Amino acid sequence: MAPDKSSPVENSWKIFEEYHIDEDVGFALPNPLEELPHPYDAWISIAKNLPELIKNGQLRAEVEKLTTFSIDGLQGHKSQRLAHLVLGYITMAYVWGEGDGDVRKVLPSNIAVPYCKVSEKLGLPPILVYADCVLANWKKKDPSGPMTYENMDILFSFPGGDCGKGFFLVSLVVETAAASAIKVIPIIFNAIQREDPDTLQKALLDITSCLHKALEIFHQIHEYVDPDLFFNVLRIYLSGWKGNPLLSEGLLYEGVWDTPKKFAGGSAAQSSIFQCFDILLGIQHTVGGVPSDSAAKFLQEMRTYMPSAHQNFLRSLESGPSVRKFVLSKGDATLQEIYNECVQAMVSLRDYHLQIVVKYIVIPASRPSKKKQTSKEPSEPKSKGTGGTDIMGFLKTVRSTTVNSLLKED
């Protein structure tokens, strides 16, 4: 992990390397591995055939047949990230089965033990997180080609055809478009330290431009993700066991803990990139470091679902100089306007996220369910996000906080 004395103020990618931030893909894992050595290839084999195994009703039996492997042979960060990804896929498939309400409340020890051990090594929870299914679940078709949807594919799929590919890859390409602004952060901090508003203005314009590009790419979701398939199929496999009545007590990780544990499902709130710009621009979801409402509390909690190097980076940003205070102290109308454009770009992204949630969750949730429930358990609340929140309430609060961060004209 990065030592505490490091600060992203220095204009060097060496600093970012310590925080596992890549020059080209930002917080995404650069060139993820696709295969694991024997005996872990047994995990890969199941993960690669998930949709078929689920459809044929064989998934759970195949998982239960697996031997318990020691994780000592998983050498290196990329191998451990791939193991966390495949075990996350297998766990979600095992728990949710065919997505018909017939859930498993106990994860067998042959998966639970290695999953929890590799999770501990990575500082991640033992559930499929954004850092798995979005940041480490991709490859380029042409390795020398661009990071565009057309030139990319995902490594593992859930049921729902190409819906998962669309959802994960559009999220990734949005992430990497915004991530090109990370390299501007040291320039911003240096400009503040040198009292150089001209350099700061240019750097803020660069960030605004990257955020506009991210929003433009976000529109591709309509082309690649079907709302009904997302809501009725994919969303089920991304759901967690926190705030979910189908697993009201959580999931029991056999051989690891004696009592069930609750973990939230994958959520865009687990992306470091937008929390990074919130911190940089002084968009305050906390008061004196304490979450100001349930949305802020959720955002803070979601940091614990990020790779620990990325959590460290966000903490280091919090100890850096304040862009907002500097802009206010200068009393320069042009600088304030450029700062506001940057904040407004974050507002626009959050506005658009709300529209997406209406189309992909709220509207499908209002329709009668086509799925046959085989379980007598209470069904999952339909308008909740995969992270277990009241998603509309959460996103509206976050957007309001962002809007309130715009500097008012005197």
Rg (CA), the chain: 21
Q: Binding residue per annotation — 353? A: yes
What is the predicted pLDDT for the residue at 310?
A: 97
The single-letter DSSP state of residue 405 is T
d(CA 75, CA 168): 26
Q: Beta-strand (E) ranges in 163-283?
A: 252-253
What is the predicted pLDDT for the residue at 376? Answer: 47
Question: Residue 69: CB partners within 8 Å, gap ≥ 6?
Answer: 39, 40, 42, 43, 114
| Bridge partners for 290 per DSSP | 287
What is the 8-class DSSP label of residue 101? S
Q: Give the containing element (helix H, strand E) for 280.
A: helix 272-281
Number of H helices, E strands in the chain: 20, 6
Compute mean pLDDT per 10 residues along the chain, 410 residues long, and list them.
Answer: 45 75 94 97 98 98 98 97 98 97 97 98 97 98 95 98 97 94 94 96 98 97 96 96 95 98 94 95 74 82 96 95 96 97 97 94 84 48 55 89 86
What is the pLDDT, as a whole number, of residue 3? 41
Q: Could you read off the pLDDT of 198-234 as tens digits, one per residue?
A: 999 999 999 999 999 999 999 999 999 999 999 999 9
From its phi and psi, is residue 215 left (phi > 0), alpha (psi between -120 and 50) or beta?
Answer: alpha
- The whole-angstrom separation of Cα 109 and Cα 252 is 10
